[in-house]
Amino acid sequence: MNNPQDPLQNRNKYIGASDAPIIMKVNPWTTPYQLCMEKIGLGHPRLDNYAMQMGREREDEARSKFEELTGLTMFPKVIYTDECKFVRASLDGIDLEQKNILEIKCPGKVDHEKAMDGVIPEKYFPQLQHQLFVTRLDHVNYFSYTRESNKRIIVERDQAYIDNMFKEHCKFWECVQNEQPPELCDRDYVEKTDDFWFEVENLWKVTKRDLKILEQKEKQLRDTLISMSSNSNCRGRQVQVTKCVRKGQIDYEAMPQLKDADFELYRKPSTEYWKIGEVK
């Protein structure tokens, strides 16, 4: 494991531990589609919720409390793995011997009560296993902290889960690299219930149907006019039929000079566009 310079602007070049619950579809706030759009530069950056803000503000005192309880000295650190270049983990703490790692949570009441009962909230489990994958360790210290109470839970490595999660990471990263976001889920849509929306969508469906009928009719009439022209340029009172020639497209892939060219170096930035379709 190593720790090269970690500029903030490079965070979208990796899958981090906090991304893992999103990719594994247990994060209640962000979806894989939204995360992918963020990483390719077309989405909205995630905003800190209350728990995240609280965690940042109290992380130092929580780490100090953990050190007091365990006798371990922990240092924040970003860890990379040579096994998988696009994966990293930003740890709240790792000891000098690199045998113990720490994940601090300063959560809301529900999640803290679960921890006090010895239960890891589901939405944090992928994050912990991701950290174990990157560090190659066998356990992680989950520390749920408030100023009134705290709970340390040792979470063991789940290799079967890590193997499956790694496959999902690879599929997600392929989406990022190809700038082709994964399939949307229900939470990616804003449900519209107003009458005006219903009226407009109904008009769109009717218009689309009528347009398709007109396009089919236009093609039939076009083919008839071309057939009636008998391979000659023709003109009537309102319509003329003209024979045209278009140069063939260049087959760049067949050019030996371009055989080893990296066309990605010349790709323009991604752009957004909209698709409209009927709900299935």
Write down the pTM of the prediction.
Answer: 0.78
Condensed to tens digits (0 to 9), the pLDDT of residues 226-246 reads: 999 999 999 999 999 999 999
Q: What integer pLDDT is reported at residue 3 of this predicted model?
A: 47
Give residue limits of the domains in the chain: 8-187, 204-266
SS3 state at 237: coil
Q: What integer pLDDT is reported at residue 81 of this predicted model?
A: 87
Nearest CA to 90 among 18, 7, 166, 13?
18
Q: What integer pLDDT is reported at residue 265 of this predicted model?
A: 78
Q: Which fold has domain 8-187?
A: Lambda Exonuclease; Chain A (3.90.320)
Q: What integer pLDDT is reported at residue 11 of this predicted model?
A: 65
Which parts of the chain register pLDDT below 70? 1-11, 45-52, 55
Please give the C-alpha separations between residue 76 and each of 17, 58, 93, 100, 102, in angstroms, as whole numbers.
Answer: 14, 14, 4, 12, 9
Condensed to tens digits (0 to 9), the pLDDT of residues 154-182 reads: 999 999 999 999 999 999 999 999 999 99
